[in-house]
Amino acid sequence: MPGTGLWRTKSVEQSILDTDEPDTKLRKNLGTWDLIVFGVSVVIGAGIFTLAARTAGDMTGPSVSLAFVLAAIACGLAALCYAEFASTVPVAGSAYTYSYATFGEFIAWIIGWDLILEFAVAAAAVAKGWSIYLEQVFGLIGVELPTSFEFAGGLQFDWGAVLLVAVLCTLLALGTKLSARVSLVITLIKVFVVLLVIVVGLAYINTANYTPFIPPATEASASDTPPIEQSLLSLILGGETSTFGIFGLLAGASLVFFAFIGFDIVATTAEETRNPQKNAPRGILGSLAIVTVLYVAVALVVTGMVPYTDLATDESGTRSTLATAFAQHGINWAAAIIAVGALVGLTTVVMVLLLGQTRVLFAMSRDGLVPRGLAKTDPKRGTPTRATVLVGVVVLVAAGFFPADKLEEMVNVGTLFAFVLVSLGVIVLRRTRPDLPRGFRAPLVPLVPILAIIACLWLMLNLTALTWVRFIIWMAAGVVIYFLYGRTHSRLGQRAKAGEVAAGGEVPRGSE
């Protein structure tokens, strides 16, 4: 068997066997509630506190609640596939590990590179959002303290975002269980704030604000955004604009999808979970169900409180938030609570995104596709300290010095691509390894995975053409890195070249 094939697979048995290596062993100390807390803590954040109001004002109108439902359906279908994989292959790495077992090394590298884009960029973007809320909270207590300043030459430095990333990476290096406890406390606080917002906001709903539920599409004009910043589907079908109307609703669903990112991170912690066959599926599906109900409720409240036109981004570029609707009604105490809740909520979002990034990098390092030294774990705490430090430095620089504009869509296209491969992987693994014990089985296979693939591709088409261009450039860079480094340093390739066959077999799917 040639050891240079791009499609060589790493068997499920070998993936599980590698988790017992002393130098790269993770500690199993997470239960079902830990996983649900991780999922809810990362998902509840940007979607409720920023995206709901902004998307309603700029894209969808009152139908933003329907946009959340459409995004939730796609996530729910993909979540069933993630749950099956997490219970079958309880190994760090999530979609990367699953792809290695089904499609082969090259596709696994591609999806791992894609997940790096998802988690690192999302962590940097949300950290910058946290910094903005920190400045607002300072203002509430009468302290005028900007969280960013400008160097000579126009270079911006966001010290608030840098501080957050540094503190959270320290927590993650100290132990995943400690991180889970911090997440639990913070998650309880922000869920309480969200429920308070819903209850208070109900009293100020004016049903007339729900009409028209889907506003008519705006007329295109010379001052509109250029075609490359319209949704790809709108361009393909000849639509003039993706602002309001049906195209606006679909584009809005693709954007608020960002608000659901996080449940898949639960799958990256499967290796650190006690009884992953049961706990991982419960954590994935449970966290998604909780946040979907909260998201739709908040979207209905905020668009019922004020006309959607009052939530639009103004000429100066100032974007509305959930607090905007309450401030317009003079409920300043609620607006203050929302600001504090957002600050608390975004803290755990960034922490779990960093956790997901380090676990993907850890898995790729253990396989030799990136330097093996990053897979070494701390003998006392059982955490990949080196990988955590590297991720922290990269995200810290990105959050500190780079603007956050357009990052949500870049994260979305990467995540949706991962969902497509995971869903397809369930079909493939059912056919190639029907004998594998599965703690959870996705229902109606192959129908559910096929529907998940269609839904995710549909949302991808509704992202902007510019996002697709940037995504293709990022993935092309990943292909170059794989051929320059990963292909020659792959442990699986080295084993095959030496004629070794691991437990369970590592059989190439083909060769070049």
Q: What is the pLDDT of residues 364-399, one digit of tens each?
A: 998 899 998 888 887 777 778 888 889 989 898 888
Beta pairing, strands 156-158 & 148-150: antiparallel
Helices in 308-384 by DSSP H: which ranges? Answer: 322-328, 332-366
Rounded to 10 degrees, the C-alpha dihedral 198/201/203/204 comes to -150
CB 416 within 8 A of CB 408: no
Residues 6+ apart with CB under 8 A from 230: 239, 241, 242, 464, 465
pLDDT for 25 beyond 70: no
Distance CA 299, CA 335 (A): 16
CATH architecture of 12-497: Up-down Bundle (1.20)
Q: Give pLDDT, residue 322.
A: 78
DSSP three-state, residue 21: coil
pLDDT for 510 beyond 90: no
Query: Residue 506's pLDDT band (boundaries 50, 70, 90)?
Result: very low
Average pLDDT value for residue range 204-218: 91
Distance CA 280, CA 268 (A): 10
Question: In the 8-state DSSP scheme, what is residue 143?
Answer: -
Query: Do you know the residue count of the chain?
Result: 512
Helices in 203-269 by DSSP H: which ranges? Answer: 232-236, 245-256, 265-268
Q: Please tell me the pTM assigned to this model.
A: 0.78
Of 418 and 183, more confident: 418
∠ CA 344-350-356 to the nearest 5 degrees?
140
Of 190 and 207, more confident: 207
Mean pLDDT of the chain: 81
Give the percent of the chain with pLDDT over 90: 20
Among positive and negative, which fits the CA dihedral 164, 169, 170, 175?
A: positive
pLDDT for 7 beyond 70: yes
∠ CA 371-374-376 to the nearest 5 degrees?
125
Residues 6+ apart with CB under 8 A from 333: none
CB 71 within 8 A of CB 43: no
Of 222 and 426, more confident: 426
- Bridge partners, 273 (sequence order): 30
What the block records as the tokens of 253 is 């669903």
Q: Which residue has the tokens 């007329």?
A: 219
What the block records as the tokens of 280 is 């991982």
Number of Cα atoms under 13 Å in the Cβ half of residue 479 = 7
Q: Which residue has the tokens 């729910």?
A: 76
